[in-house]
Amino acid sequence: MSRPLFLYGTLLRPAVLRRFGGEPRRLCPARAEGWCRVGLRGTPYPTLRRGAGTVAGALLRVPPAVLARLHAYEGPPYRLAPLRVFTPRGAAWARAWVAPPWRATRDAWHWPPPG
């Protein structure tokens, strides 16, 4: 199995993860240091941007079929990028869906989005 996924946005919502990831999955709390969770330009969704900050999220291990479904949910603006995260057990490498920097706003993203 490949590196775990670092989830930081809408997939942290149990209903969304269940809908696209299938059966309930066990999440491990994690944080990504040196990253900021910001808006994805022109959408209500987040992406990550390198910067002075820490993004709270969770790690998830999935089989290839589930990864394919989650990738379809994430859509074309995103690519899987490696990043180092910190868990209660220590540092680990993971992958996260990250949009190109030009697609990222500088505005912090919160769930639910304001407005």
CATH 3.10.490.10, domain 5-103, yes or no: yes
The structure tokens 């500088």 sit at 106
* Per-residue model confidence (pLDDT) at position 1: 53
Determine the residue type at 79: R
Q: Could you tell me the pTM of the whole model? A: 0.92
- Quote the pLDDT of residue 115: 44
Q: What is the reported pLDDT for 23? A: 76
pLDDT (0 to 100) of residue 3: 83
Residues 67 and 48 sit within 8 Å (Cβ to Cβ):
no
Q: What is the pLDDT of residue 112?
A: 62
Question: Going residue by residue through the chain (115 aa), what tens digit of pLDDT does each one get?
Answer: 578 999 999 999 988 999 988 876 789 999 999 999 999 999 999 999 999 999 999 999 999 999 999 999 999 999 999 999 999 999 999 999 999 999 999 999 987 654 4
Bridge partners (DSSP) listed for residue 62: none
Report the 10 Å Cβ neighbour count for 55.
24
Query: Domain segments of the chain: what residues?
Result: 5-103
